């Protein structure tokens, strides 16, 4: 970063250079500084979709969700059917509690990758999560199962599918999914608590007690 700053004083940096410097700022993270340099990059080249998407990510990380959506819409104008941009629009709307709009964005992002090559699991997981919030666990299951096929090492995919199975009365399947989620993310107190309660529903007291103990160790409290 120091080299970029020094270069900026003596050289007219390109739009690309400014974007790279901005992403270095975001990695610190220093989101206000990152946004400043991204906007300078766009002053030089406002037709660069990657810079608009980067601005959307920075604004999202800063919790400026409306502004993030605006930047991402610029991205889609320049590069239509960009799955990552549409997915982030969905996530921003989800954070704004506009679940119907978020669901539409996730379904659109999924539709744009129907060829099955290099699919992104994020919109599948997000759609399942929104359906669960909207009390549609049965509808969520198929989307979350597809997410697992795309990203079998995603702890969130297994967690959300476990929750969907639990809400639809498939408790043994819920336990299996939560066990997998914990193998992928062993230090998550939340997952140990969910699995403990699932084991208790199955009448497996010893397993439940072990998970409650692990939860208490990680979280410092006992919710039983």
pTM over 0.85: yes
User: Would you state the pLDDT for residue 10?
Assistant: 57
Q: Domain for residue 129, yes or no? A: no
Q: What percent of the chain has pLDDT over 90?
A: 88
Q: What is the CATH number of the domain that holds 35?
A: 1.25.40.10
User: Would you state the pLDDT for residue 220?
Assistant: 75
pLDDT of 6 over the 80 cut: no
| Closest to 57 in 3D by CA, of 48, 47, 67 | 67
| Mean predicted confidence (pLDDT) in 149-171 | 97
Q: How many CB atoms lie within 10 A of CB 140?
A: 26
Report how far apart, in Å, the C-alpha atoms of 4 and of each of 9, 37, 38, 39 are. 9, 11, 14, 16
Residue 204, phi then psi, degrees to nearest 5: -95, 80
Burial 93-121 (b: 16+ CB within 10 A, else e): bbeeebbebbbbbbbbbbebbeeeeebbb
Write the CB contacts of 15 (distance below 8 Å, at least 6 apart in sequence): 41, 42, 44, 45, 48, 51
Q: Sorting pLDDT into bands at 50, 70 and 90, what band is 219?
A: confident
Write the CB contacts of 64 (distance below 8 Å, at least 6 apart in sequence): none
Contact 171, 194 (CB under 8 A): no
pLDDT by residue (tens digit) across 105-138?
999 999 999 765 679 999 999 999 999 999 999 9
HSE-CB of 118 using CA atoms within 13 angstroms: 4
The domain total for the chain is 1
Higher pLDDT, 224 or 43: 43
Categorise residue 45: left if φ over 0, alpha if ψ from -120 to 50, beta otherwise.
Answer: beta
Which residues in the chain belong to E strands, given as ranges?
Answer: none
pLDDT by residue (tens digit) across 47-70?
999 999 999 999 999 999 999 999
Q: Domain for residue 193, yes or no? A: no
User: Would you state the pLDDT for residue 63?
Assistant: 98
User: Would you state the pLDDT for residue 39?
Assistant: 97
Q: Domain for residue 51, yes or no? A: yes
User: Would you state the pLDDT for residue 223?
Assistant: 57
Write the CB contacts of 184 (distance below 8 Å, at least 6 apart in sequence): 153, 154, 155, 158
| Closest to 112 in 3D by CA, of 123, 102, 101 | 123
Handedness of CA 156, 159, 165, 169 (dihedral sign): negative
Q: Domain for residue 179, yes or no? A: no
Q: Domain for residue 111, yes or no? A: no
User: Would you state the pLDDT for residue 212?
Assistant: 96
Q: Domain for residue 19, yes or no? A: yes
Q: Sorting pLDDT into bands at 50, 70 and 90, what band is 12?
A: confident
| Mean predicted confidence (pLDDT) in 33-45 | 95
pLDDT of 8 over the 80 cut: no
CA distance 24 to 198: 43
Domain, as residue range, for 2: 1-79
Reduce the DSSP state of residue 33 to 3 states and report it.
helix
């Amino acid at each position: 970063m120091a080299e970029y700053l020094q270069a900026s004083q003596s050289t007219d940096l390109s739009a690309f250079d400014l974007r790279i410097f901005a992403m270095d700022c975001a990695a610190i993270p220093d989101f206000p500084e990152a946004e400043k340099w991204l906007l300078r990059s766009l002053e030089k080249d406002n037709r660069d979709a990657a810079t608009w998407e980067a601005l959307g990510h920075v604004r999202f990380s800063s919790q400026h969700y409306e502004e993030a959506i605006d930047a991402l819409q610029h991205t889609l104008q320049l590069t239509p059917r960009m799955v990552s941009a549409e997915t982030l629009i969905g996530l921003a709307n989800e954070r704004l509690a506009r679940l119907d709009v978020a669901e539409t964005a996730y379904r659109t992002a999924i539709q744009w990758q129907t060829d099955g090559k290099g699919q992104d699991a994020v919109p599948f997981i997000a759609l399942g999560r929104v359906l669960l919030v909207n009390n549609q666990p049965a509808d969520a299951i198929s989307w979350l199962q597809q997410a697992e096929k795309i990203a079998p090492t995603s702890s969130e995919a297994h967690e959300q599918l476990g929750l969907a199975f639990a809400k639809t009365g498939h408790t043994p399947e819920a336990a299996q999914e939560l066990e997998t989620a914990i193998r992928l993310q062993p230090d998550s107190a939340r997952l140990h608590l969910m699995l403990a309660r699932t084991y208790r529903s199955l009448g497996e007291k010893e397993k439940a007690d072990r998970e409650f103990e692990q939860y208490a160790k990680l979280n410092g409290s006992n919710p039983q």
